[in-house]
Structure 1
Amino acid sequence: MAKALLGHVGGPDPRMVAEMRRLQRRVRDLEAELVRLQEENDSLATATDGVTVHSVKDREPALT
């Protein structure tokens, strides 16, 4: 019982702290990637202004 109490009162579990830091880093990395991809998408969208974009329905089959 004393071990259980000391473990509970002894502070945060180092493995839990390490996992939290790893997850926070991963979230930051994913958020940075999201911003990068949004900027790339915006630049591609402005580059295609005035360019006719063909939809899948307009394409001819590759093999007939």
Structure 2
Amino acid sequence: MAKALLGHVGGPDPRMVSEMRRLQQRVRDLEAELARLQTENDALAATSDEVSLGVKDREPALT
């Protein structure tokens, strides 16, 4: 119990603070990656709509 009290009174554990900062940075990196991929996906979806118009007009090869 003395160790628990000493740890509590001694302030935040530097390893815990370091891990928290690392995880916060990882979340920011993942959010930025998500935004980049959503933008890329929107651009691809816009171009696929243009391309798919010609594909829908074609007849099937085998009937």
Q: What interval of TM-score do these two structures reach, taking the shorter chain for normalisation?
A: 0.7 to 0.9
Q: 1:11-50 alignment to 2 at 5 Å?
A: 11-50=11-50
Larger RCO of the pair (alpha carbons < 8 Å, separation 6+): 2
* Count of aligned pairs: 55
TM-score (norm 2): 0.72
Q: What SS is found at the alignment partner of 1:37?
A: helix
Tell me, in whole angstroms, the C-alpha distance in 1 between the residues paired with 2:44 and 2:26: 27
Tell me, in whole angstroms, the C-alpha distance in 1 between the residues paired with 2:4 and 2:40: 53
TM-score (norm 1): 0.71
Identity of aligned residues (%): 76
RMSD: 2.1
Structure 2: 5+ residue stretches without partners: none
In the TM superposition, residue 52 of structure 1 has moved relative to its aligned partner by 2.2
Structure 1: 5+ residue stretches without partners: 59-64
Runs of 4+ in 1 over 2 A off after TM superposition: 1-7
Of the structure 1 ranges 28-37 and 5-14, higher mean CA displacement relative to structure 2 is found in 5-14
Higher relative helix content:
2
